[in-house]
Amino acid sequence: MGKGSKRKHQKKIDESIDSESETQTQGLTTLLDPPKPKKARKVVPDSDLCLVGPPIAPADARQRWPHRYQSKNKVKKQAVTEASNDEENEVLQARNHYVEAIVDGCRYKLGDNAYVKAEDGNLDYIARIVEFFETVDQEPFFKAQWFYRAEDTVINKDNAHLIDKRRVFLSDIHDDNPLNCIISKVEIAEVAPDNDSAAKESRIPDSGLYYNMKYSLQHLTFKNIFTETSKKDNGTSSVVSSECGSNNTSSEVQRFDKSQKYLLDLYSGCGAMSTGLCMGSSLAGIKLVTKWAVDINSFACKSLQWNHPETKVRNEAAEDFLCLLKEWEKLCQKFSLLEPNKPSETVSSETVHWWILVLWKGYDKSYDTWEPIEGLSNCEERLKEFVSKGYKSNILPLPGSVYFICGGPPCQGVSGFNRFRNSNAPLEDVKNKQLVVYMDTIEHLKPRYVLTENVVDILKFAKGFLGRYAVGRLVSMNYQARMGMMAAGSYGVPQFRMRVFLWGSHPSERLPQYPLPTHEVFSRGGVPIEFEEIHVTYDKKDSCQLESALTLTDAISDLPQVNNDESRDQRNYGTTARTEFQKFIRLRRKDVINLTVDSRHAPSLGMLCDHQPLQLNPDDYDRVCHIPKKKGANFRDLPGVVVGENNRVEWDTTMDRVLLKSGKPLVPDYAMKFVKGRSTKPFGRLWMDEIVNTVVTRAEPHNQTVIHPSQNRVLTIRENARLQGFPDCYKLFGTIKERYADFILW
């Protein structure tokens, strides 16, 4: 991804891992080929290409660049750390260092920015000159620190239109180039990320280039560049800068109490992501409260409301919620609760109609009616009273009132099960539009922090278009951004579950790091090669002692036996906890961080809830009973099936097809055909010493390994909830099928 070249046309460049100090290169694969350099000339005084002025004092030069002054048998090597490549590049050795150079009659100083020759047909590269030196062969060289255009970053050319064309990003990539690669000088303004439009424009030079962020290949990170005059924030301030994006207004002021921060959970399910975030924040001494949650599934909303009575839960589509927020802001402005917005450059094509539930004076609730707001013109005082009360109670979030937004916007359009995926224009697929709605909501509310979760396919489909789009939208709003890919099993959860995460943080906040793994799980692949930099793991050179991965034994061995037709919603445990995980997961509600207790929770206190499996139909139950109780057992162990070449299943031609009592075949055709006969998942039995791969929303055993190790049934709702990390006191609502889906975002 870097630019420029060393003495040869190379496809490996070096990357600094430490963004806080002058860095030496570690090495990553380029996404753009560097230019073929001109042949460097010998240093000739007074020519149009030379290092000028007296050399830097040898002692000073050796102190600043010790790696340039090594004896021949001590020359340092710059390692390329690409996993499959052990290539090393020798560091150029210097005779002298200089502070100035002349190229084509133009004088350059250390710290100047310049265009650097690119391949024919490509835009010239942009670099900051950080070192001038003469090699031991008397060749003039400079060391470049590269600026990236948006299309050179993870945002890519397909989403570069989201970013101002004049905006560039200072990378932490450095490499050496012949002096005659320099084309011309360019001025690049450093602009504070929270500058308003007028202040920013006043600082941009005639060249039209500016930067306010640094870009690092490690986790494909966009991060603020802080100078002495830049605003720094310790995270405790209750007032946010009013310029997170380009169209902010003075009404966008944080209104939350310093003692607690408000979170909005979009696409919340039953609250998995927000519950975990609030628990973790409490351990860090931050009172993060899920103030609002939105989901289109009514059963998930009911589950969330029961477990979090303090949360305002809305059962509606996210796009409808966003329209409501915009209209609510207008109402608050109408009654002078907020300052009016500046005129917007964009006009919404949607017509929104407000309807308000009216309680008629002198009548009971049976007479309540929904009325259009236009028909309440004679009730201005009552309407103002309603809006003022809602404003004070934060009935709906307003720009600046939200500290944190989290969510996993569904992108069914990327799923491999979708045969009609639109890889040419992913955002034109209605199944992917929720990512746009999610980003539009962030742009409207301008929270301090954003955390987004999604499936790995978001980086595999259409060359990662949707993941790149998400990063581009955040950066276009001046949010810092950092990508990460983590397996849940690496952090003490008894399932592997690889997912992609995207942090976003306001310019005035620190951009969080991803936590390193605590438990050892074996990688199951799935990391796209183009995004290897975002995989959160230890460096191969690091030595660390990780805990063993949790297994089914750790998670569910204490739960009482149940049958396929178990009908009780709650029951006594009848057992004691056997592992540390079980002791934690069985904590009483009052002992679980960030869970409130009120009268509604009393009937279920101390009881085991949701320990029910999906009741299989008679045929499937009969098939499950035929699956041997041994490790790795599945439909291949049934009579009539043999495994042929290439690990494909075939019918045993020496025997008749075995039938069930119903007359249907014991081994269904779909099991034989699944993944062209190569899959071992249909009617697969789990084992107690295993870590589960990924819990899914469907409990049918037709194409998933979900059968209990020693009982003839699929895993229960509660067993699956434990694999997701939910405490036993977290009760779920809906049909059995709905409850399986409640606690799974993906």
Average pLDDT over residues 394-423: 85
Q: List the CATH number of the domain containing 500.
A: 3.40.50.150
Residue 28 pLDDT greater than 70, yes or no = no
Q: List the CATH number of the domain containing 629.
A: 3.90.120.10
Residues 208 and 282 in one domain: no
* pLDDT confidence bin for 193, thresholds 50/70/90: confident
Residue with more model confidence, 52 or 14: 52
- Residue 411 falls in the annotated catalytic set: yes
**What amino acid occupies position 664?**
K
Residue with more model confidence, 597 or 637: 637
Rounded to whole angstroms, the Cα distance separating 257 from 238 reads 7
Residues 185 and 323 in one domain: no
Residue 393 pLDDT greater than 80, yes or no = yes
Residue tagged 């005779």 (tokens):
95
**Is residue 254 situated within a structural domain?**
no
**Token digits for 222?**
């966009």
Q: What is the structure's pLDDT at 1?
A: 39
Q: What is the structure's pLDDT at 72?
A: 67
Residue 632 pLDDT greater than 70, yes or no = yes
Average pLDDT over residues 519-531: 84
pTM of the model: 0.86
Q: Identify whether the C-beta of residue 645 lies closer than 8 Å to the C-beta of residue 656.
A: no
Residue 403 pLDDT greater than 70, yes or no = yes
**Domain-ending residue, one of 505, 534, 563:** 534
Rounded to whole angstroms, the Cα distance separating 684 from 630 reads 10
**Is residue 746 situated within a structural domain?**
no
**Is residue 579 situated within a structural domain?**
no
Rounded to whole angstroms, the Cα distance separating 493 from 254 reads 35
Average pLDDT over residues 469-474: 98
Q: Of the ranges 2-6, 225-229, 251-255, which one carries the lowest mean pLDDT score?
A: 2-6
**Is residue 199 situated within a structural domain?**
yes
pLDDT per residue over 275-305, tens digit each? 999 999 999 899 999 999 999 999 999 999 9
Residues 299 and 184 in one domain: no
Tell me the residue range of the domain where 621 lies: 614-715
Q: What is the structure's pLDDT at 594?
A: 80
Residues 6+ apart with CB under 8 A from 401: 254, 255, 256, 262, 394, 445
Residues 20 and 96 in one domain: yes
What SS3 class is residue 396? coil
Backbone angles phi, psi at 77, to 5 degrees: -110, 145
Q: What is the DSSP letter of 528?
A: -
Rounded to whole angstroms, the Cα distance separating 189 from 209 reads 7
**Is residue 237 situated within a structural domain?**
no
**Is residue 725 situated within a structural domain?**
no
Average pLDDT over residues 671-677: 96
Q: What is the DSSP letter of 15?
A: B
**Is residue 604 situated within a structural domain?**
no
Residue 326 pLDDT greater than 80, yes or no = yes
Residue 209 pLDDT greater than 80, yes or no = yes
**Is residue 592 situated within a structural domain?**
no
**Domain-ending residue, one of 482, 513, 534:** 534
Residues 192 and 289 in one domain: no
Residues 6+ apart with CB under 8 A from 8: none
Residues 289 and 402 in one domain: yes
What SS3 class is residue 326? helix
Q: Identify whether the C-beta of residue 218 lies closer than 8 Å to the C-beta of residue 15.
A: yes
Residues 403 and 476 in one domain: yes
> Helices 433-445 and 465-476: crossing angle, nearest 10°?
10
Q: What is the structure's pLDDT at 365?
A: 83
Residue 309 pLDDT greater than 70, yes or no = yes
Q: What is the structure's pLDDT at 419?
A: 64
- The active-site residue out of 411, 544, 609, 625 is 411
Residue among 22, 40, 348 nearest 174 (CA):
22
Please compute, for residue 141, the number of CA atoms within 13 A of its CA located in the half-sphere on the CB side.
25
Rounded to whole angstroms, the Cα distance separating 469 from 312 reads 30
Residue among 363, 387, 383, 386 nearest 374 (CA):
383
Residues 270 and 193 in one domain: no
Residues 630 and 486 in one domain: no
Q: What is the structure's pLDDT at 436?
A: 96
pLDDT per residue over 557-607, tens digit each? 999 999 999 999 999 999 999 999 999 999 998 898 888 888 778 777 789
Residue tagged 């839960």 (tokens):
313
**What amino acid occupies position 588?**
R
* pLDDT confidence bin for 359, thresholds 50/70/90: confident
Q: List the CATH number of the domain containing 201.
A: 2.30.30.490
Rounded to whole angstroms, the Cα distance separating 659 from 647 reads 25
Q: Identify whether the C-beta of residue 145 lies closer than 8 Å to the C-beta of residue 127.
A: yes
Rounded to whole angstroms, the Cα distance separating 25 from 7 reads 16
pLDDT per residue over 420-454, tens digit each? 677 778 888 888 899 999 999 999 999 999 999 99
DSSP string, 650-679: EE-TTSPPPB-TTSSBSS-HHHHHGGGGT-
Q: What is the largest CA-CA distance in the chain?
A: 99
* pLDDT confidence bin for 18, thresholds 50/70/90: very low
Q: Identify whether the C-beta of residue 221 lies closer than 8 Å to the C-beta of residue 215.
A: yes
pLDDT per residue over 363-379, tens digit each? 888 878 887 877 777 78
Average pLDDT over residues 120-131: 95
Kindly compute the dihedral angle of the four CA atoms of residues 392, 394, 400, 402, in this order, to the nearest 10 degrees: 150
Q: What is the structure's pLDDT at 418?
A: 64
Residues 468 and 338 in one domain: yes
**Domain-ending residue, one of 217, 244, 271:** 217
Backbone angles phi, psi at 283, to 5 degrees: -65, -25
Residue 155 pLDDT greater than 50, yes or no = yes
Residue among 231, 218, 220 nearest 23 (CA):
218
Residues 26 and 155 in one domain: yes
Q: What is the structure's pLDDT at 276?
A: 94
Chain-wide mean pLDDT for the chain?
Answer: 85
- The tally of domains found in the chain comes to 3
Q: Of the ranges 113-122, 491-500, 690-699, which one carries the lowest mean pLDDT score?
A: 690-699
Residues 53 and 176 in one domain: yes
Residue among 676, 678, 681 nearest 692 (CA):
681
- pLDDT exceeding 70 applies to what percent of the chain? 84
Backbone angles phi, psi at 497, to 5 degrees: 45, 80
Rounded to whole angstroms, the Cα distance separating 430 from 413 reads 8
